[in-house]
Structure 1
Amino acid sequence: MMKKWQQKVIVQKTISYLPFSHKINYIFQKYVTKGVQLSDEYFYDRLGHARDHISSYQHYSNRPIPNSSLEIGTGWYPIVPISLFLLGVEKIYSVDISFLTSKPRLLTTLQQFAACAKAGRLREFVDFQDTKLAELHELLAQYEQLSLEQILAKLHIIYLIEDARHLSLADNSIDLVNSNNTFEHIYLSLLEPILLDFKRVVNKEHGVMSHFIDMSDHFAHFDKTISTYNFLQFSPRQWRWIDNNIQPQSRARIYDYRRLYAELSIPITAESYRPGSVEELSQIKLDAEYAAHPAEEVAKTHCHFVSAMNTAVQPTR
């Protein structure tokens, strides 16, 4: 019998060839895989990312609040951008290949923030300004009377639907560049020019880049019968047939990202990771590309790279 992940491969591969593939994929995930609902787990995971982005910026820039930020791959629910709004960031850019949020999805996100604040938990993640939280509540009260554009403007969120390799932002114009489990969806050949443009736009005096990367097999998030390393058994040729351009997975490992950063002269000022399980990895017959590396390195499933662009800052890893 075909496994769930294999069924999803066939469906997404088919969708990828259709017009409006991202909208069709949203409907598929909403009603079939149930993968696009804003769950408490997802919300608090992203709040944790926001907390770590902010603390990384404050530590390595010695400034309390960035004036501007840029996120790639924000997706359906702009949790980190709203966190930065509550902190007091003035310009919050989000770059993506398509506009994925909507007025209902944004409402859901704002309601989650309001519920989090009411439960007394928001301060655990974001040292928000009371005036900004009041603005969020006021926005919810008048939500139906406002357009999506007006709502985003009040939140200081600016969407850039453009090629992240050629951003329309000025040199040295962004204080904090961040991403949240996005890099793994970008093949290294494409990630290289994106990182180069991030390096161009980030402020060289006090700018910080903070990127979370999920290196696990994303099909295992949906199908619990397969290992988080399942996709490492396939050759590059086999993977091209399995992968799709809606939710691509590069399968890059932590050593690939370290090498890319080094080649682009982007410092890794601080690094953290989840070690994964070498024992679980050993249950997979790895393709030669991965078998050639130390199992402890291949097994790492998640990492967080922080780059302080002021070269006077010393690495802590």
Structure 2
Amino acid sequence: MAIRKWHLKAIVQKCISVFPNPERVNNVFQRHVTQGIELDDDHFGYKIEHARDHISYVRRYLNTEQELEILELGTGWYPIIPISMYLSKVGKVTSIDIQSWLTKESFITALRKFKEWRELDKLSLFLTEIDDSRWSQLMSIEAEPGHFSLEEINEIIGLQTLLLDARDTDLPEDSFDFICSNNTFEHVYPEVLKGILTEFKRLLRPEGLMSHFIDLSDHFAHFDESISIYNFLKYSKKRWRIIDNSIQPQNRLRWKEYLDMYGSVGLPITEEETRKGNLDL
């Protein structure tokens, strides 16, 4: 059997997973080999689309006369959601992760992509209510980044980043109006995800809302076009444990399993949207 690109990536990530500080080693691998964390137009596009949809749900279901307290699961490298919430005057974001990826450099990279898309008249297709004074504030940071530290930039947009276990945040009960995530759930194993949802239920205010986007596809297919987005489903649990890795784990849960998990922790579902895949892929 011929070795495919995804086989090589799986082997490399499996090897990296046994290194000390494997996430940092993988960060170097992605940045310099696969370019998997570059903020290109495709990457920014799906992130800003998520921001648009989160904001749409907020406007539809919550009272937005006052700015909200927002919790984001998965800070990542580029604060697209927090910047969008700031520009749209939706609320202040507390973003939690188990690794620290956000840097001043990556923040400025994100600002420059916002600027580029606005100059191309593309940003308004996603963010329809940008506050001019807040935009000017961000552009002053983008123009002279040396005058600001990352901490100062975060404070300006109301972003607080925390490194903690989302199953046990030690944050006050009923402290958030809106909780969101972006293609994060699929990387969390079921027993851990159930604990996270239980904690989110505790943190969410009685009239609050959650919005989570989940990518159900085989992520190796993003790297290797020779396989389908369903490729990982053909492997047994035992075989998949050998292939899977702690760097970018994939739980392979299907949509109904997420719905069942919501039900098991007592979380009601107000609205759901699925995008059907192509079975011919």
TM-score (norm 1): 0.85
The match for 2:227 is: 226
CA contact (8 A) 2:64 2:90 kept: no
Is residue 58–residue 65 contact of structure 1 (8 Å, CA) maintained in 2? no
- Structure 1 segments of 4+ aligned residues over 4 angstroms from their partners: none
Q: Is the 8 A contact 2:92 2:157 kept in 1?
A: no
Q: Give 3-state SS (helix, strand or coil) of 1:210's partner.
A: strand
1:106-138 Cα offsets, whole Å, 9 max, x none, are 111011111222223323222121111111112
Partner of 1:96: 97
Higher RCO, 1 vs 2 (CA within 8 Å, ≥6 residues apart):
2
Q: Tell me the amino acid that sits aligned with residue 274 of structure 1.
A: R
1: CA distance, partners of 2:251 / 2:191: 10
- In structure 2, the partner of 1:81 is 82
Residue 263 (structure 2) aligns with: 262
Q: Following superposition of structure 1 onto structure 2, how do residues 71-220 of structure 1 map, counting pairs within 5 Å? A: 71-126=72-127, 127-205=129-207, 207-220=208-221
The residue identity in structure 2 corresponding to 1:174 is F
Give how far 1:103 is off: 1.5
User: 5+ residue gaps in structure 2?
Assistant: none
C-alpha distance in 1 between matches for 2:247 and 2:104: 22
Unaligned runs of 5+ in 1: 281-317
Aligned residues: 279
CA RMSD of aligned residues (A): 1.4
Does the CA contact (< 8 Å) of 1:58 and 1:64 recur in 2? no
CA–CA separation in structure 1 for the residues paired with 2:278 and 2:223: 19
Report the 3-state secondary structure (helix = DSSP H, G, I; strand = E; otherwise coil) of the residue aligned with 1:262: helix
Using structure 2 for the length normalisation, give the TM-score.
Answer: 0.95
Alignment pair present for 1:240 and 2:229? no
Deviates more, 1:63-72 or 1:160-169: 63-72
Percent same amino acid at aligned positions? 44
| Distance across 1 between alignment mates of 2:67 and 2:60 | 12
Contact preservation (8 Å) 1:72, 1:96: yes
- Separation in structure 2 between the aligned mates of residue 115 and residue 148 of structure 1, nearest angstrom: 21
Instruction: Give the C-alpha shift of residue 75 in structure 1.
Output: 1.1
Is the 2:71–2:178 contact (alpha carbons within 8 Å) kept by the matching residues of 1?
yes
Query: How far has the Cα of 1:193 moved from its partner?
Result: 0.8
Deviations 1:194-249 (A, max 9, x none): 011111111112x1100000000000000000111110011111111111111100
Alignment partners' CA distance in 2, 1:167 and 1:176: 16
SS in 2 for 1:272: coil
SS at match of 1:273: coil
1:25 and 1:68 map into 2 onto residues whose CA distance is 33
1:196 counterpart letter in structure 2:
T
How far apart are residue 68 of structure 1 and its match?
Answer: 1.3
**For 1:198 and 1:241, how far apart are their aligned partners in 2?**
31
Cα pair 2:171 2:203 within 8 Å, conserved: yes
In the alignment, which residue of structure 2 is the partner of 1:51? 52
**Code of the aligned partner of 1:254:** W
- State the AA in 1 paired with 2:47: R
What is the DSSP-based 3-state SS (H/G/I as helix, E as strand, rest coil) of the residue aligned with 2:54? helix
Match of 2:214, SS state, is strand
Q: What displacement does 1:58 show? A: 1.3
Q: Which residue of 1 aligns with 2:71?
A: 70
- Residue type of the partner of 1:182? T
Quote how far apart the aligned CAs of 1:74 are. Answer: 2.5
